[in-house]
Structure 1
Amino acid sequence: MRNTFEITDDVFIVRVFREFDKDKDNHVNVKEWIEGLSVFLRGSLDEQIKYCFSVYDLDGDGYISREEIWRMLENSLSREAITEEDPDEDIKHLMELTLKKMDHDKDGRLSYADFEKAVKKDNLMLEAFGNCLPDANRALEFEENTFI
């Protein structure tokens, strides 16, 4: 994940692994690897929405909470991108803007329906909380070098 797809955030690496490990046995078997890569590299928008939501739902309760958003933004934002003297204020501001754009039912957390609606309206929201999918060039390079 780190070298091939440039997914460097430990939180996302663990969550991607958990998403690939469908039988939750702490091992990704060949079938799980192939099915995971299928969505990861070439999944439909609906498949990738489901995948990204699962990665972002850190505690698996079916919602992306404020705490989860905070944790992901804190981990994924580079310190160079934060301009305020108080980095927590930058993260809080970004979290509030994101919730305003995505939290359609205004309950202070994102349900799958909220997330899906926001992404279908603006595909850039798919990775709103950090990089959990490879960029197109990395995916193509992987496919060209792996699948002969």
Structure 2
Amino acid sequence: MGKHHSKLAPKEIKELSSKTGYTSAEIKEWYKGFLRDCPSGKLDRAEFQRVYANFFPNGDSTEFAEHVFTTYDRNGDGNIDFREFLTAMSVTSRGTMEEKLLWAFELYDLNKDGSITKDEMTELIAAIYKMVNVDPSASTSDEPRKSPEERASEIFAIMDRNSDARLTFDEFYEGAKTDASLLKFLEGQG
């Protein structure tokens, strides 16, 4: 979808429907909204960060939005086209647990080498804290807040079964599916 299209071709709709599970009507509605917000047919990094900032007005979502942008931008061209956008939306909104965890794994795997290090996890957790305006030094009496480093260490203690300081997708998947609060956190919701 390199150029601006006013309509999606029936073949594109069929492919997107097969890949995402959205109906033709849903795809057309998503496309109409996407073009309204992105008349060029592409969403660039800066605009993506502005949109994200609207969802988190009390925090700084810049770093987290950058990581999400990179995960959405499957072809690495510096823009999110409609196909990339809809595919990601499908996974995050109605994907299976395994699809959502694969997406989250790709988000945490900052250098895209197929594993997550404690530094990568710490960086993403720090970005989540900034986005939701959590100050780990400001503890409540009920529950002390953990720093991003402490939280990453805690997650690695649960998930890194072979203690090699790297999480594979299998370790990530197995660890996350056994702990509901961890799963929610890893998906960026908790």
TM norm structure 1: 0.72
Q: CA deviation at 1:101?
A: 0.9
- Distance change in 2, residues 1:95/1:29 (3 Å): closer
Larger RCO of the pair (alpha carbons < 8 Å, separation 6+): 1
**Percent of aligned pairs with the same amino acid:** 23
Preserved CA contact (<8 Å) 1:66 1:108: yes
1:1-148 aligned at under 5 Å gives the runs: 1-4=52-55, 8-77=60-129, 78-79=134-135, 81-83=136-138, 90-128=147-185, 131=188
Partner of 1:141: none
Distance 2:56 2:97 in 1: 19
Partner of 1:146: none
Residue type matched to 2:90 in 1? S
- Distance change in 2, residues 1:111/1:68 (3 Å): same
Distance 2:81 2:125 in 1: 31
Partner of 2:19: none
CA RMSD of aligned residues (A): 2.7
Distance 2:60 2:99 in 1: 22
Residues matched between the structures, number: 128
Residue type matched to 2:119 in 1? E
Distance 2:115 2:61 in 1: 21
- Distance change in 2, residues 1:10/1:65 (3 Å): same
- Distance change in 2, residues 1:41/1:2 (3 Å): farther
TM norm structure 2: 0.57
Q: Which runs of 5+ in 1 are unaligned?
A: 136-148
Distance 2:186 2:87 in 1: 23
- How far does the alpha carbon of each residue in 1:40-88 deviate from its partner, in whole angstroms, 9 at most, with x for none? 2111111100000000111111111121122223333322x3258xxxx
Distance 2:117 2:79 in 1: 28
Preserved CA contact (<8 Å) 1:64 1:109: yes
